[in-house]
Structure 1
């Protein structure tokens, strides 16, 4: 059966390797969590839990979970594409699957369901003075790429890893949520999509093996169980499972189910990119001596006594226990540019 599926997909697919993935790359619209967010969660916190109003382009920021410039801002800087960042730190795909409360905003972290709805509100925004949309002034189906990178909080502590999902939901429900969001973006003009698969979280200090920098406890997980080898192995299993589903489901939805007529998808294998970076960091731009198993910035399990390394951030793969550093984000961005060009070895391309 697996061979038959592969053969059918191979016969149906138009793979765009060697040609531009998108005709004109003028806009990048991003959805996700703290790996992508620049300032959206900060807006919620600074406005008593209120969301940014439709029509507001949030400012560029280096006050991020990774300690500097996010990967999507790097992409914008490299290509000149205008960035519309809807990601929210702490987000999951749906709060109906995973619910994580944040006291400063008096509710759960806004999820990707909110993010896509915010995007739709923005494209429908009409400025009362100009009677035009002053936010999206140059959005066409042929010049805009939509990226989705979500899963770190869905799969981790307080979520599937700790059996904390709601309503008897499972990992397939989280995957369904992602494609449901693509439905909404597609219905509102999206035609070029980059699905970024889950990072190798088992290599992070939060979920790592004990002989590879894995922490016994963290302010992200103060009461972490002592069986950290089992935790790391389970996380590896979860990320590998989800990425395998992405690998097969994306061409199925596009080419067999005909769910997105006229659309193009790239599945960006960030998992492999970051794994390669972990084992050969200087080849991806980290400064020698490169440090991949301990974070640049670390607090004690209570969240106090936080300290930064005396060595500069460009030496580090991880900013803290969970978040890639600015230097790692730059490596992700450089390869994202190749993905959009249509010639990345870390991407699989599908066109209906």
Structure 2
């Protein structure tokens, strides 16, 4: 017991000595990332630009190593994704490995891709695809023609995964595999960081889970939906669903807050690396609570701009409205306007001035 107490005190001292609190500058007069040139993004439909589309267009085949996927003006948020906004605002090159529908690991949560004989590609696939791209050698030039200027001090690696891990068909409905739990999902994220770190990554942004209980799919009455093509057999007690969703997102995000400094400062798992925890949850909650500061008037944070029937067909938009007025494009995905706000805040993260980020160390 005495030894445990000493270790606990040492760990606490290390954390307190190096913490940069949420809303604080990372320290010094220079930006957090010395010279930001590349954004390598991993995640699900909140980040995907065109990768799932490639799978559909090529009979379930993954993009080959060395291929930079194209810009897509329409994404699950109804417009340009946040990661592309970052590239636009900074002139950085975007390498987007996110796949709509992804979970962190299909061995924890299994989700089948409709119309195919395979599961949605997971973040395990995404990181493996990134590593394959870093090792790619063009047959003509005998060089890597994809990553032409990737260095430890000019590349940021973002991870935003959890919407499908925590939601229906996953932890929310007790559908995980082999008695796995939310800590296993968190382990998966840090295991992926291990692989990226080994491949030269040194600047990591861990984006926490969105406030999913505010989305129409998981919302409280009277605006929360009783049924959706995303969840055709949703339970009648949507108040319980919303409350449980809030509990799970807050639990996972709290684990991120404590696990990250432990891995960096106590376990020393990533020597020389820097992590930023982007509190997207708080940013989106602020949009929900103060919509006039972020959305076009008259703002709408409780209903979706686009709504489809229970089969996913016959989709209609709110008449007489514009997408920029809405927080949610559909019942699950933040709108392109919210993506724009997230992209603007991400640029501040790189500069080291984000009010929604904690930097470690």
TM over 0.5: yes
Give a deviation string over 1:95-138, Cα, whole Å, max 9, x none.
00000001333200000000000000000000000000000000
Distance 1:204 1:250 in 2: 27
1:306 aligns with 2:312: no
1:340 paired residue number = 350
Counterpart mapping for 1:214-229 below 5 A:
214-229=224-239
Give a deviation string over 1:154-210, Cα, whole Å, max 9, x none.
000000000000011000000000000000000000000000000000000000001
**TM-aligned CA deviation for residue 8 of structure 1:** 3.1
Distance 1:126 1:251 in 2: 36
- Structure 2, unpaired ranges of 5+: none
Pairing partner for 1:249 from 259, 263, 269? 259
Distance 1:173 1:314 in 2: 37
1:77 aligns with 2:88: yes
User: Structure 1's 131 and 314: CA in aligned 2 closer, same or farther, altered over 3 A?
Assistant: same
Counterpart mapping for 1:106-125 below 5 A:
106-125=117-136
Secondary structure at 2:41's aligned position in 1? strand
Distance 2:123 2:202 in 1: 19
Counterpart mapping for 1:7-156 below 5 A:
7-13=13-19, 16-17=26-27, 19-156=30-167
1:297 paired residue number = 306
Secondary structure at 1:292's aligned position in 2? strand
Distance 1:239 1:217 in 2: 21
TM-score of the two chains, using structure 2 as the length reference: 0.94
**TM-aligned CA deviation for residue 302 of structure 1:** 2.2
TM-score of the two chains, using structure 1 as the length reference: 0.97
Secondary structure at 2:204's aligned position in 1? strand
2:336 paired residue number = 326
- Structure 1, unpaired ranges of 5+: none
**How many residue pairs get matched?**
349
Distance 2:241 2:135 in 1: 44
Contact 2:166 2:248 in 1 (8 A): yes
**TM-aligned CA deviation for residue 346 of structure 1:** 0.3
Distance 1:272 1:4 in 2: 30
Distance 1:316 1:152 in 2: 20
Secondary structure at 2:125's aligned position in 1? helix
2:292 paired residue number = 282
Contact 1:265 1:349 in 2 (8 A): yes
Distance 1:318 1:300 in 2: 17
1:165 aligns with 2:171: no
Decide which moves more: 15-24 or 228-237: 15-24
Contact 1:200 1:274 in 2 (8 A): yes
Contact 1:17 1:349 in 2 (8 A): no
**TM-aligned CA deviation for residue 345 of structure 1:** 1.2
Secondary structure at 1:28's aligned position in 2? strand
Secondary structure at 1:104's aligned position in 2? coil
